[in-house]
Structure 1
Amino acid sequence: MGFKSILCATGADHSDQDARTAAGLCAEVGAQLSVLIISPSPLLMPPPTLGDSIPEWPTVAGLKRRFRQIDRFSQDMAKLERRHTEFQNLLGAMSLRHDVDTDYCDPASVDDVVRQRALCTDLTIVGPTLLDDENLGPPVLNGCLFDTGKPVLVVPKGAEASLSPRRVLVGWDSRAEASRAVREALDLLSGAEEVCVALVDPKANYNGNGSEPGADIATYLTRHGARVSVDLLPSAGKPAATVLAQHAIDTSAEMIVMGAYGSRRLRERIFGGATRWICEKPPLPLFLAR
Protein backbone atom coordinates (compact mmCIF):
# COMPACT_ATOMS: atom_id res chain seq x y z
CA MET A 1 0.00 0.00 0.00
CA GLY A 2 2.70 2.48 0.98
CA PHE A 3 2.43 6.02 2.32
CA LYS A 4 1.16 8.43 -0.32
CA SER A 5 -0.16 11.20 1.91
CA ILE A 6 1.68 12.40 5.04
CA LEU A 7 0.55 15.01 7.55
CA CYS A 8 2.83 17.23 9.63
CA ALA A 9 1.30 19.47 12.30
CA THR A 10 3.32 22.36 13.64
CA GLY A 11 2.79 25.45 15.76
CA ALA A 12 2.87 28.97 14.39
CA ASP A 13 5.72 29.74 16.80
CA HIS A 14 7.70 26.61 15.93
CA SER A 15 10.74 26.40 13.72
CA ASP A 16 10.58 24.60 10.39
CA GLN A 17 12.52 21.59 11.77
CA ASP A 18 9.51 19.26 11.93
CA ALA A 19 8.37 20.20 8.42
CA ARG A 20 11.88 19.58 7.07
CA THR A 21 11.91 16.15 8.76
CA ALA A 22 8.54 15.28 7.24
CA ALA A 23 9.63 16.63 3.85
CA GLY A 24 12.66 14.35 3.85
CA LEU A 25 10.47 11.34 4.60
CA CYS A 26 8.02 12.32 1.86
CA ALA A 27 10.83 12.69 -0.65
CA GLU A 28 12.07 9.23 0.33
CA VAL A 29 8.79 7.53 -0.62
CA GLY A 30 7.36 10.02 -3.12
CA ALA A 31 4.48 11.10 -0.89
CA GLN A 32 2.43 14.29 -0.74
CA LEU A 33 3.16 16.40 2.33
CA SER A 34 0.34 18.27 4.05
CA VAL A 35 1.51 20.84 6.60
CA LEU A 36 -0.98 22.14 9.16
CA ILE A 37 0.10 25.28 11.01
CA ILE A 38 -1.82 25.69 14.25
CA SER A 39 -2.23 28.81 16.34
CA PRO A 40 -4.34 28.21 19.45
CA SER A 41 -6.39 31.31 20.17
CA PRO A 42 -6.40 32.94 23.61
CA LEU A 43 -9.50 32.34 25.68
CA LEU A 44 -11.85 35.23 24.97
CA MET A 45 -13.87 36.54 27.90
CA PRO A 46 -17.59 36.96 27.10
CA PRO A 47 -19.09 40.38 27.80
CA PRO A 48 -20.56 40.67 31.28
CA THR A 49 -24.35 40.52 31.55
CA LEU A 50 -26.99 41.78 33.91
CA GLY A 51 -30.14 39.92 34.82
CA ASP A 52 -32.18 38.27 32.04
CA SER A 53 -28.98 38.12 29.92
CA ILE A 54 -29.06 41.86 29.18
CA PRO A 55 -25.53 43.01 28.19
CA GLU A 56 -23.96 45.34 30.71
CA TRP A 57 -22.96 48.77 29.49
CA PRO A 58 -19.26 48.50 28.55
CA THR A 59 -16.78 50.00 30.94
CA VAL A 60 -13.48 51.63 30.01
CA ALA A 61 -11.60 48.62 31.42
CA GLY A 62 -13.84 46.25 29.46
CA LEU A 63 -13.31 48.14 26.22
CA LYS A 64 -9.55 48.15 26.72
CA ARG A 65 -9.62 44.40 27.31
CA ARG A 66 -11.64 43.87 24.16
CA PHE A 67 -9.26 46.07 22.13
CA ARG A 68 -6.32 44.00 23.42
CA GLN A 69 -8.09 40.84 22.31
CA ILE A 70 -8.70 42.27 18.85
CA ASP A 71 -5.07 43.37 18.61
CA ARG A 72 -3.90 39.91 19.67
CA PHE A 73 -6.16 38.32 17.06
CA SER A 74 -4.75 40.60 14.33
CA GLN A 75 -1.18 39.76 15.32
CA ASP A 76 -1.90 36.02 15.39
CA MET A 77 -3.55 36.06 11.98
CA ALA A 78 -0.65 38.04 10.52
CA LYS A 79 1.78 35.50 11.96
CA LEU A 80 -0.21 32.61 10.48
CA GLU A 81 -0.24 34.25 7.07
CA ARG A 82 3.49 34.91 7.25
CA ARG A 83 4.25 31.32 8.30
CA HIS A 84 2.00 30.01 5.53
CA THR A 85 4.03 31.92 2.97
CA GLU A 86 7.34 30.78 4.50
CA PHE A 87 6.34 27.11 4.40
CA GLN A 88 5.04 27.42 0.84
CA ASN A 89 8.38 28.86 -0.24
CA LEU A 90 10.36 26.25 1.72
CA LEU A 91 8.51 23.26 0.30
CA GLY A 92 8.31 24.76 -3.16
CA ALA A 93 12.09 25.04 -3.24
CA MET A 94 12.28 21.32 -2.46
CA SER A 95 10.21 20.46 -5.55
CA LEU A 96 7.95 18.43 -3.28
CA ARG A 97 4.26 17.80 -3.80
CA HIS A 98 2.68 19.65 -0.90
CA ASP A 99 -0.14 21.72 0.51
CA VAL A 100 -0.12 24.09 3.48
CA ASP A 101 -3.09 24.97 5.65
CA THR A 102 -3.56 27.07 8.80
CA ASP A 103 -6.02 26.94 11.66
CA TYR A 104 -6.72 29.48 14.38
CA CYS A 105 -8.69 27.49 16.92
CA ASP A 106 -9.67 27.29 20.55
CA PRO A 107 -7.09 25.30 22.57
CA ALA A 108 -9.76 22.76 23.48
CA SER A 109 -10.44 22.12 19.78
CA VAL A 110 -6.86 21.39 18.68
CA ASP A 111 -7.29 17.60 18.87
CA ASP A 112 -10.47 17.74 16.73
CA VAL A 113 -8.81 19.99 14.16
CA VAL A 114 -5.89 17.60 13.79
CA ARG A 115 -8.14 14.53 13.80
CA GLN A 116 -10.09 15.80 10.79
CA ARG A 117 -6.87 16.14 8.79
CA ALA A 118 -5.37 12.86 9.97
CA LEU A 119 -8.45 10.91 8.90
CA CYS A 120 -7.60 11.61 5.25
CA THR A 121 -3.86 10.89 5.36
CA ASP A 122 -1.82 7.69 5.57
CA LEU A 123 0.58 8.78 8.29
CA THR A 124 1.19 11.69 10.65
CA ILE A 125 4.69 12.82 11.57
CA VAL A 126 5.19 14.18 15.09
CA GLY A 127 8.59 15.85 15.16
CA PRO A 128 10.90 16.92 17.98
CA THR A 129 9.75 20.55 18.09
CA LEU A 130 6.15 19.50 18.64
CA LEU A 131 7.27 16.95 21.23
CA ASP A 132 8.95 19.74 23.19
CA ASP A 133 5.74 21.79 23.23
CA GLU A 134 3.93 20.62 26.37
CA ASN A 135 0.82 22.64 25.47
CA LEU A 136 0.37 21.83 21.79
CA GLY A 137 2.06 18.42 21.66
CA PRO A 138 -0.40 16.29 23.70
CA PRO A 139 -3.62 17.44 21.96
CA VAL A 140 -2.02 17.08 18.52
CA LEU A 141 -0.83 13.58 19.37
CA ASN A 142 -4.20 12.56 20.77
CA GLY A 143 -6.00 14.04 17.79
CA CYS A 144 -3.98 12.30 15.10
CA LEU A 145 -3.75 8.90 16.81
CA PHE A 146 -6.94 8.31 18.78
CA ASP A 147 -10.26 7.89 16.94
CA THR A 148 -8.58 7.95 13.51
CA GLY A 149 -7.29 4.41 13.01
CA LYS A 150 -4.22 5.96 11.37
CA PRO A 151 -0.59 5.52 12.46
CA VAL A 152 1.79 8.12 13.82
CA LEU A 153 5.56 8.27 13.46
CA VAL A 154 7.14 10.01 16.44
CA VAL A 155 10.60 11.38 15.67
CA PRO A 156 12.47 12.39 18.86
CA LYS A 157 15.23 14.98 18.89
CA GLY A 158 18.39 13.75 17.20
CA ALA A 159 16.72 10.75 15.56
CA GLU A 160 17.51 9.83 11.97
CA ALA A 161 14.10 8.76 10.75
CA SER A 162 13.55 6.73 7.61
CA LEU A 163 10.54 5.07 6.02
CA SER A 164 12.91 2.40 4.76
CA PRO A 165 14.60 1.24 8.00
CA ARG A 166 17.00 -1.67 7.83
CA ARG A 167 16.40 -3.04 11.33
CA VAL A 168 13.08 -2.75 13.15
CA LEU A 169 11.97 -3.92 16.56
CA VAL A 170 8.30 -4.86 16.98
CA GLY A 171 6.89 -4.77 20.50
CA TRP A 172 4.37 -7.61 20.50
CA ASP A 173 1.82 -8.62 23.13
CA SER A 174 -0.96 -10.28 21.09
CA ARG A 175 -3.30 -7.31 21.54
CA ALA A 176 -5.37 -5.65 18.84
CA GLU A 177 -3.37 -2.42 19.07
CA ALA A 178 -0.09 -4.22 18.42
CA SER A 179 -1.68 -6.08 15.50
CA ARG A 180 -2.86 -2.80 13.96
CA ALA A 181 0.60 -1.28 14.36
CA VAL A 182 2.14 -4.26 12.55
CA ARG A 183 -0.44 -4.04 9.78
CA GLU A 184 0.08 -0.32 9.27
CA ALA A 185 3.87 -0.79 9.24
CA LEU A 186 3.77 -3.83 6.96
CA ASP A 187 5.54 -2.15 4.04
CA LEU A 188 8.34 -1.01 6.37
CA LEU A 189 8.68 -4.45 7.92
CA SER A 190 8.61 -6.42 4.68
CA GLY A 191 11.32 -4.19 3.22
CA ALA A 192 13.62 -4.25 6.26
CA GLU A 193 16.74 -6.39 6.42
CA GLU A 194 15.92 -7.56 9.95
CA VAL A 195 12.72 -7.56 11.99
CA CYS A 196 12.95 -8.51 15.64
CA VAL A 197 9.66 -9.40 17.31
CA ALA A 198 10.15 -8.86 21.04
CA LEU A 199 7.82 -10.08 23.79
CA VAL A 200 8.27 -9.11 27.44
CA ASP A 201 7.43 -11.80 30.01
CA PRO A 202 5.18 -13.69 27.58
CA LYS A 203 2.97 -16.46 28.89
CA ALA A 204 2.21 -19.46 26.73
CA ASN A 205 -1.58 -19.79 26.61
CA TYR A 206 -4.16 -20.40 23.95
CA ASN A 207 -6.17 -17.29 24.80
CA GLY A 208 -3.28 -14.90 24.27
CA ASN A 209 0.19 -15.64 22.93
CA GLY A 210 -0.49 -19.23 21.95
CA SER A 211 1.56 -22.27 22.90
CA GLU A 212 4.67 -20.71 21.33
CA PRO A 213 4.70 -16.94 22.02
CA GLY A 214 5.62 -14.88 18.97
CA ALA A 215 5.36 -17.74 16.49
CA ASP A 216 2.03 -16.61 15.05
CA ILE A 217 3.04 -13.03 14.30
CA ALA A 218 6.43 -14.20 13.00
CA THR A 219 4.66 -16.53 10.56
CA TYR A 220 2.37 -13.73 9.45
CA LEU A 221 5.28 -11.38 8.78
CA THR A 222 7.27 -14.09 7.01
CA ARG A 223 4.37 -14.61 4.62
CA HIS A 224 4.70 -10.95 3.71
CA GLY A 225 8.38 -11.29 2.94
CA ALA A 226 9.83 -10.04 6.22
CA ARG A 227 12.98 -11.60 7.69
CA VAL A 228 11.91 -12.23 11.28
CA SER A 229 13.46 -13.34 14.55
CA VAL A 230 11.68 -13.64 17.90
CA ASP A 231 13.15 -12.60 21.26
CA LEU A 232 11.50 -13.40 24.59
CA LEU A 233 12.62 -10.85 27.15
CA PRO A 234 12.40 -10.93 30.96
CA SER A 235 11.26 -7.69 32.51
CA ALA A 236 13.19 -8.15 35.79
CA GLY A 237 10.65 -5.82 37.37
CA LYS A 238 11.10 -3.05 34.78
CA PRO A 239 8.27 -1.57 32.66
CA ALA A 240 7.81 -3.38 29.38
CA ALA A 241 8.41 -0.17 27.39
CA THR A 242 11.77 0.30 29.11
CA VAL A 243 12.79 -3.29 28.33
CA LEU A 244 11.79 -2.89 24.68
CA ALA A 245 13.66 0.40 24.40
CA GLN A 246 16.86 -1.11 25.75
CA HIS A 247 16.57 -4.16 23.51
CA ALA A 248 16.05 -1.93 20.48
CA ILE A 249 19.30 -0.15 21.27
CA ASP A 250 21.13 -3.42 21.97
CA THR A 251 20.06 -4.84 18.60
CA SER A 252 20.86 -1.61 16.68
CA ALA A 253 17.24 -1.17 15.65
CA GLU A 254 16.40 1.99 13.72
CA MET A 255 12.71 2.06 14.63
CA ILE A 256 10.29 0.64 17.18
CA VAL A 257 6.83 -0.45 16.07
CA MET A 258 4.31 -0.80 18.86
CA GLY A 259 0.65 -0.39 19.76
CA ALA A 260 -0.72 2.57 21.70
CA TYR A 261 -3.24 1.66 24.37
CA GLY A 262 -4.62 4.79 25.98
CA SER A 263 -4.22 8.53 26.37
CA ARG A 264 -2.53 8.42 29.75
CA ARG A 265 -0.14 5.60 28.89
CA LEU A 266 0.69 7.10 25.52
CA ARG A 267 1.40 10.51 27.00
CA GLU A 268 3.73 8.88 29.52
CA ARG A 269 5.57 7.16 26.70
CA ILE A 270 5.87 10.21 24.49
CA PHE A 271 6.56 12.94 27.03
CA GLY A 272 8.28 10.85 29.70
CA GLY A 273 9.15 7.34 30.78
CA ALA A 274 10.74 5.04 28.25
CA THR A 275 10.68 7.42 25.30
CA ARG A 276 12.32 10.23 27.26
CA TRP A 277 14.94 7.71 28.28
CA ILE A 278 15.46 6.82 24.61
CA CYS A 279 15.90 10.50 23.78
CA GLU A 280 18.59 10.80 26.42
CA LYS A 281 20.36 7.78 24.89
CA PRO A 282 20.59 6.97 21.14
CA PRO A 283 17.14 8.25 19.98
CA LEU A 284 14.77 6.02 18.02
CA PRO A 285 11.66 6.84 15.99
CA LEU A 286 8.46 5.23 17.27
CA PHE A 287 5.82 3.95 14.86
CA LEU A 288 2.55 3.89 16.80
CA ALA A 289 -0.96 2.76 15.95
CA ARG A 290 -4.11 2.07 17.87
Structure 2
Amino acid sequence: MAYKSILTVATNAAQIPLSVPGAARIAEANDGHLDILALGVDRTQIGYSYVGSGAVMMQVSLERAETDARDLEKAALAAIKAEELDLRASTEAAVAQLGALAELVAQRARFADLVVLARPYGNDQGPEAEAVVEAAMFEGQAPVLVLPAKGLATATPKTIVIAWNQSREAMNAVRRALPLLKSADLVDITVVDPPSHGPERSDPGGLLCQMLVRHGVRAEVSVLAKTLPRVSDVLARHLRDRNADMMVMGAYGHSRFREAILGGATRNMLEQAEVPVLMAH
Protein backbone atom coordinates (compact mmCIF):
# COMPACT_ATOMS: atom_id res chain seq x y z
CA MET A 1 0.00 0.00 0.00
CA ALA A 2 1.11 3.55 -0.74
CA TYR A 3 -0.37 6.92 0.12
CA LYS A 4 -2.33 7.76 -3.03
CA SER A 5 -4.66 10.43 -1.62
CA ILE A 6 -2.90 13.06 0.49
CA LEU A 7 -4.87 15.89 2.07
CA THR A 8 -3.75 19.12 3.67
CA VAL A 9 -5.98 21.81 5.15
CA ALA A 10 -4.97 25.47 5.04
CA THR A 11 -6.53 27.82 7.60
CA ASN A 12 -3.55 30.09 8.19
CA ALA A 13 -1.49 31.70 5.42
CA ALA A 14 1.61 31.71 7.64
CA GLN A 15 1.60 27.89 7.76
CA ILE A 16 1.15 27.27 4.02
CA PRO A 17 4.91 27.40 3.24
CA LEU A 18 5.27 24.59 5.80
CA SER A 19 2.31 22.28 5.20
CA VAL A 20 1.72 22.50 1.44
CA PRO A 21 5.31 21.78 0.30
CA GLY A 22 5.55 18.92 2.80
CA ALA A 23 2.31 17.37 1.59
CA ALA A 24 3.35 17.91 -2.04
CA ARG A 25 6.66 16.08 -1.57
CA ILE A 26 4.92 13.12 0.03
CA ALA A 27 2.39 13.01 -2.81
CA GLU A 28 5.15 13.05 -5.41
CA ALA A 29 7.19 10.38 -3.59
CA ASN A 30 4.12 8.08 -3.56
CA ASP A 31 2.93 8.97 -7.06
CA GLY A 32 -0.23 10.16 -5.34
CA HIS A 33 -2.71 13.01 -5.63
CA LEU A 34 -2.64 16.05 -3.36
CA ASP A 35 -5.92 17.60 -2.25
CA ILE A 36 -5.78 21.04 -0.62
CA LEU A 37 -8.72 22.36 1.36
CA ALA A 38 -8.43 26.15 1.72
CA LEU A 39 -10.71 26.81 4.66
CA GLY A 40 -11.94 30.26 5.56
CA VAL A 41 -13.15 30.24 9.15
CA ASP A 42 -16.18 32.28 10.17
CA ARG A 43 -15.52 33.09 13.82
CA THR A 44 -18.85 34.79 14.49
CA GLN A 45 -20.08 34.21 18.02
CA ILE A 46 -23.49 35.85 18.29
CA GLY A 47 -24.48 36.48 21.89
CA TYR A 48 -26.19 39.54 23.26
CA SER A 49 -26.49 42.29 20.62
CA TYR A 50 -28.70 45.14 19.54
CA VAL A 51 -31.70 44.20 17.43
CA GLY A 52 -30.61 43.59 13.84
CA SER A 53 -26.88 43.88 14.55
CA GLY A 54 -26.41 40.10 14.72
CA ALA A 55 -27.33 39.61 11.07
CA VAL A 56 -24.96 42.40 10.03
CA MET A 57 -22.10 40.87 12.03
CA MET A 58 -22.74 37.46 10.51
CA GLN A 59 -22.74 38.83 6.96
CA VAL A 60 -19.50 40.76 7.48
CA SER A 61 -17.82 37.75 9.08
CA LEU A 62 -18.98 35.44 6.29
CA GLU A 63 -17.65 37.77 3.60
CA ARG A 64 -14.31 37.97 5.42
CA ALA A 65 -14.14 34.18 5.63
CA GLU A 66 -14.88 33.86 1.91
CA THR A 67 -12.08 36.30 1.12
CA ASP A 68 -9.73 34.38 3.42
CA ALA A 69 -10.58 31.10 1.65
CA ARG A 70 -9.83 32.56 -1.78
CA ASP A 71 -6.57 34.08 -0.55
CA LEU A 72 -5.52 30.80 1.06
CA GLU A 73 -6.25 28.93 -2.16
CA LYS A 74 -4.10 31.37 -4.16
CA ALA A 75 -1.25 31.04 -1.64
CA ALA A 76 -1.47 27.24 -1.75
CA LEU A 77 -1.32 27.19 -5.54
CA ALA A 78 1.69 29.50 -5.45
CA ALA A 79 3.42 27.20 -2.92
CA ILE A 80 2.87 24.19 -5.18
CA LYS A 81 4.18 26.03 -8.22
CA ALA A 82 7.31 27.07 -6.32
CA GLU A 83 8.14 23.42 -5.58
CA GLU A 84 8.41 22.63 -9.31
CA LEU A 85 7.25 19.05 -8.76
CA ASP A 86 5.69 16.61 -11.21
CA LEU A 87 2.51 16.54 -9.18
CA ARG A 88 -1.23 15.92 -9.52
CA ALA A 89 -3.06 18.33 -7.23
CA SER A 90 -6.42 19.99 -6.76
CA THR A 91 -7.67 22.77 -4.51
CA GLU A 92 -11.03 23.53 -2.94
CA ALA A 93 -12.00 26.79 -1.23
CA ALA A 94 -14.66 26.48 1.46
CA VAL A 95 -16.08 28.37 4.42
CA ALA A 96 -17.15 26.99 7.79
CA GLN A 97 -18.00 28.41 11.17
CA LEU A 98 -15.51 27.58 13.90
CA GLY A 99 -17.97 25.29 15.64
CA ALA A 100 -18.87 23.42 12.45
CA LEU A 101 -15.53 22.97 10.69
CA ALA A 102 -15.00 19.51 12.21
CA GLU A 103 -17.72 17.97 10.05
CA LEU A 104 -16.25 19.40 6.83
CA VAL A 105 -12.66 18.43 7.67
CA ALA A 106 -13.68 14.95 8.82
CA GLN A 107 -15.62 14.32 5.62
CA ARG A 108 -12.58 15.18 3.48
CA ALA A 109 -10.14 13.30 5.75
CA ARG A 110 -12.25 10.15 5.65
CA PHE A 111 -11.28 9.65 2.01
CA ALA A 112 -7.58 10.45 2.42
CA ASP A 113 -4.79 7.94 2.96
CA LEU A 114 -2.79 10.55 4.85
CA VAL A 115 -3.44 14.06 6.16
CA VAL A 116 -0.45 16.40 6.42
CA LEU A 117 -0.76 19.39 8.75
CA ALA A 118 1.46 21.94 10.47
CA ARG A 119 1.91 21.73 14.23
CA PRO A 120 -1.28 23.24 15.70
CA TYR A 121 0.48 25.17 18.46
CA GLY A 122 2.25 28.51 18.46
CA ASN A 123 1.64 32.22 18.75
CA ASP A 124 0.39 32.52 15.17
CA GLN A 125 -2.07 29.62 15.41
CA GLY A 126 -5.74 30.03 16.23
CA PRO A 127 -8.11 27.52 17.85
CA GLU A 128 -9.08 26.20 14.42
CA ALA A 129 -5.60 24.65 13.94
CA GLU A 130 -6.05 22.13 16.74
CA ALA A 131 -9.69 21.59 15.76
CA VAL A 132 -8.57 20.56 12.25
CA VAL A 133 -6.06 18.02 13.61
CA GLU A 134 -8.64 16.56 15.99
CA ALA A 135 -11.36 16.38 13.32
CA ALA A 136 -9.09 14.60 10.84
CA MET A 137 -7.96 12.01 13.40
CA PHE A 138 -10.91 11.39 15.66
CA GLU A 139 -13.88 11.95 13.36
CA GLY A 140 -12.22 11.41 9.99
CA GLN A 141 -10.31 8.36 11.29
CA ALA A 142 -7.33 9.30 9.11
CA PRO A 143 -3.63 9.12 9.97
CA VAL A 144 -2.22 12.60 10.43
CA LEU A 145 1.38 13.60 9.86
CA VAL A 146 2.09 16.67 11.99
CA LEU A 147 5.08 18.69 10.80
CA PRO A 148 7.46 20.48 13.20
CA ALA A 149 8.41 24.14 12.90
CA LYS A 150 11.24 23.36 10.48
CA GLY A 151 8.95 21.42 8.14
CA LEU A 152 9.46 18.14 6.31
CA ALA A 153 13.14 17.32 5.81
CA THR A 154 12.50 14.22 3.70
CA ALA A 155 9.49 12.44 2.22
CA THR A 156 11.29 9.09 2.66
CA PRO A 157 12.53 8.95 6.27
CA LYS A 158 15.44 6.59 6.87
CA THR A 159 15.20 6.24 10.67
CA ILE A 160 11.77 6.03 12.30
CA VAL A 161 10.96 5.66 15.99
CA ILE A 162 7.72 3.96 17.03
CA ALA A 163 6.38 4.86 20.47
CA TRP A 164 5.01 1.46 21.51
CA ASN A 165 2.79 0.88 24.54
CA GLN A 166 0.66 -2.08 23.35
CA SER A 167 -2.44 0.12 22.89
CA ARG A 168 -4.91 -0.13 20.03
CA GLU A 169 -4.10 3.48 19.10
CA ALA A 170 -0.40 2.68 18.78
CA MET A 171 -1.18 -0.44 16.75
CA ASN A 172 -3.43 1.54 14.41
CA ALA A 173 -0.69 4.12 13.92
CA VAL A 174 1.83 1.40 13.05
CA ARG A 175 -0.51 -0.13 10.47
CA ARG A 176 -1.17 3.27 8.88
CA ALA A 177 2.57 4.00 8.77
CA LEU A 178 3.54 0.74 7.02
CA PRO A 179 4.37 2.36 3.65
CA LEU A 180 6.94 4.55 5.39
CA LEU A 181 8.20 1.82 7.72
CA LYS A 182 8.86 -0.57 4.83
CA SER A 183 11.04 1.95 3.01
CA ALA A 184 13.07 3.02 6.07
CA ASP A 185 16.60 1.84 6.77
CA LEU A 186 15.83 1.36 10.47
CA VAL A 187 12.66 1.26 12.55
CA ASP A 188 13.21 1.55 16.29
CA ILE A 189 10.32 0.16 18.37
CA THR A 190 10.70 2.12 21.60
CA VAL A 191 9.12 0.92 24.83
CA VAL A 192 9.36 3.21 27.86
CA ASP A 193 9.17 1.62 31.31
CA PRO A 194 7.14 -1.49 30.28
CA PRO A 195 4.84 -2.91 32.97
CA SER A 196 6.33 -5.85 34.83
CA HIS A 197 3.05 -7.76 34.70
CA GLY A 198 1.86 -6.84 31.20
CA PRO A 199 1.22 -9.30 28.33
CA GLU A 200 4.63 -8.44 26.81
CA ARG A 201 6.55 -8.55 30.09
CA SER A 202 9.01 -11.21 28.89
CA ASP A 203 9.67 -9.61 25.50
CA PRO A 204 8.52 -5.97 25.25
CA GLY A 205 7.89 -5.02 21.64
CA GLY A 206 8.86 -8.49 20.44
CA LEU A 207 5.58 -9.43 18.75
CA LEU A 208 5.38 -6.09 16.95
CA CYS A 209 8.98 -6.48 15.80
CA GLN A 210 8.17 -9.94 14.46
CA MET A 211 5.13 -8.64 12.58
CA LEU A 212 7.08 -5.80 10.99
CA VAL A 213 10.01 -8.02 10.00
CA ARG A 214 7.58 -10.27 8.17
CA HIS A 215 6.60 -7.19 6.15
CA GLY A 216 10.23 -6.64 5.24
CA VAL A 217 10.76 -3.86 7.77
CA ARG A 218 14.25 -3.57 9.29
CA ALA A 219 13.14 -3.29 12.91
CA GLU A 220 14.69 -3.50 16.35
CA VAL A 221 13.50 -2.85 19.90
CA SER A 222 14.73 -0.29 22.46
CA VAL A 223 13.51 -0.62 26.06
CA LEU A 224 14.04 2.60 28.00
CA ALA A 225 13.63 3.51 31.65
CA LYS A 226 11.50 6.51 32.55
CA THR A 227 14.42 8.63 33.74
CA LEU A 228 12.65 11.95 33.05
CA PRO A 229 9.39 13.27 34.52
CA ARG A 230 7.29 12.58 31.40
CA VAL A 231 7.32 9.78 28.83
CA SER A 232 7.26 12.44 26.12
CA ASP A 233 10.55 13.82 27.47
CA VAL A 234 12.16 10.37 27.26
CA LEU A 235 10.90 9.90 23.71
CA ALA A 236 12.09 13.35 22.62
CA ARG A 237 15.58 12.62 23.93
CA HIS A 238 15.58 9.21 22.24
CA LEU A 239 14.62 10.80 18.92
CA ARG A 240 17.67 13.05 19.16
CA ASP A 241 19.95 10.20 20.24
CA ARG A 242 18.81 8.13 17.27
CA ASN A 243 18.96 11.08 14.88
CA ALA A 244 15.50 9.97 13.79
CA ASP A 245 13.65 11.45 10.82
CA MET A 246 10.13 10.64 12.00
CA MET A 247 8.08 9.32 14.89
CA VAL A 248 4.99 7.10 14.84
CA MET A 249 2.61 7.08 17.81
CA GLY A 250 -0.99 6.56 18.81
CA ALA A 251 -3.14 9.62 19.42
CA TYR A 252 -5.14 9.73 22.61
CA GLY A 253 -8.19 11.85 23.28
CA HIS A 254 -10.13 13.01 26.28
CA SER A 255 -13.63 14.45 26.46
CA ARG A 256 -16.62 14.07 28.71
CA PHE A 257 -18.80 13.21 25.73
CA ARG A 258 -16.50 11.72 23.09
CA GLU A 259 -12.85 11.11 22.31
CA ALA A 260 -12.38 14.27 20.30
CA ILE A 261 -9.85 16.42 22.14
CA LEU A 262 -6.12 15.69 22.10
CA GLY A 263 -4.93 14.39 25.45
CA GLY A 264 -2.11 15.94 27.44
CA ALA A 265 0.51 13.31 26.58
CA THR A 266 -0.19 13.65 22.84
CA ARG A 267 -0.02 17.42 23.04
CA ASN A 268 3.26 17.32 25.01
CA MET A 269 4.84 15.14 22.33
CA LEU A 270 3.68 17.37 19.48
CA GLU A 271 4.85 20.53 21.22
CA GLN A 272 8.43 19.36 21.67
CA ALA A 273 9.00 17.00 18.73
CA GLU A 274 11.67 18.24 16.32
CA VAL A 275 10.69 15.71 13.63
CA PRO A 276 7.38 14.93 11.89
CA VAL A 277 5.02 12.82 13.99
CA LEU A 278 2.60 10.40 12.34
CA MET A 279 -0.39 9.79 14.58
CA ALA A 280 -3.55 7.74 14.34
CA HIS A 281 -6.41 6.99 16.66
TM superposition score normalised by structure 1: 0.83
Deviation at 1:13, TM superposition (A): 4.4
1:16 is paired with a residue of what secondary structure? helix
Q: Identify the residue that residue 58 of structure 1 maps to in structure 2.
A: none
Matched, 1:75 2:64: yes
- The answer to whether the Cα contact below 8 Å between 1:172 and 1:199 also exists between their aligned partners in 2 is yes
Q: Identify the residue that residue 163 of structure 1 maps to in structure 2.
A: 155
Alpha-carbon separation, structure 1, partners of 2:45 and 2:270: 36
Alpha-carbon separation, structure 2, partners of 1:259 and 1:266: 11
What amino acid is the match of 1:98?
Answer: A
What amino acid is the match of 2:62?
Answer: F
Gaps of 5+ in 1: 49-60
Q: Identify the residue that residue 276 of structure 1 maps to in structure 2.
A: 271
Q: Identify the residue that residue 20 of structure 1 maps to in structure 2.
A: 21
Q: Identify the residue that residue 177 of structure 2 maps to in structure 1.
A: 185
TM superposition score normalised by structure 2: 0.86
Corresponding residue pairs, total: 271
Once the two structures are superposed, residues 208-230 of structure 1 have per-residue CA deviations (whole angstroms, 9 ceiling, x without a partner) of 32521111111111111111111
What amino acid is the match of 1:35?
Answer: I
Q: Identify the residue that residue 251 of structure 1 maps to in structure 2.
A: 242
Q: Identify the residue that residue 54 of structure 1 maps to in structure 2.
A: none
Q: Identify the residue that residue 216 of structure 1 maps to in structure 2.
A: 207
Gaps of 5+ in 2: 256-260
What amino acid is the match of 1:190?
Answer: K
2:3 is paired with a residue of what secondary structure? coil
Deviation at 1:160, TM superposition (A): 3.2
Alpha-carbon separation, structure 2, partners of 1:12 and 1:239: 31
Deviation at 1:277, TM superposition (A): 2.8
Q: Identify the residue that residue 241 of structure 1 maps to in structure 2.
A: 232
Alignment CA distance shift 1:20-1:270 (3 Å): farther
Alpha-carbon separation, structure 1, partners of 2:247 and 2:7: 20
1:266 is paired with a residue of what secondary structure? coil
Alpha-carbon separation, structure 2, partners of 1:76 and 1:287: 30
Alpha-carbon separation, structure 1, partners of 2:61 and 2:264: 33
Alignment CA distance shift 1:47-1:131 (3 Å): closer
1:163 is paired with a residue of what secondary structure? coil
Deviation at 1:103, TM superposition (A): 2.1
Deviation at 1:179, TM superposition (A): 0.9
Deviation at 1:109, TM superposition (A): 1.1
Q: Identify the residue that residue 258 of structure 2 maps to in structure 1.
A: none
- The answer to whether the Cα contact below 8 Å between 1:131 and 1:156 also exists between their aligned partners in 2 is no
Q: Identify the residue that residue 7 of structure 1 maps to in structure 2.
A: 7
Matched, 1:228 2:200: no
Once the two structures are superposed, residues 152-210 of structure 1 have per-residue CA deviations (whole angstroms, 9 ceiling, x without a partner) of 101010143433110011111111111111111112112111111110111354x5325
Alpha-carbon separation, structure 2, partners of 1:250 and 1:39: 40
Alignment CA distance shift 1:79-1:244 (3 Å): closer
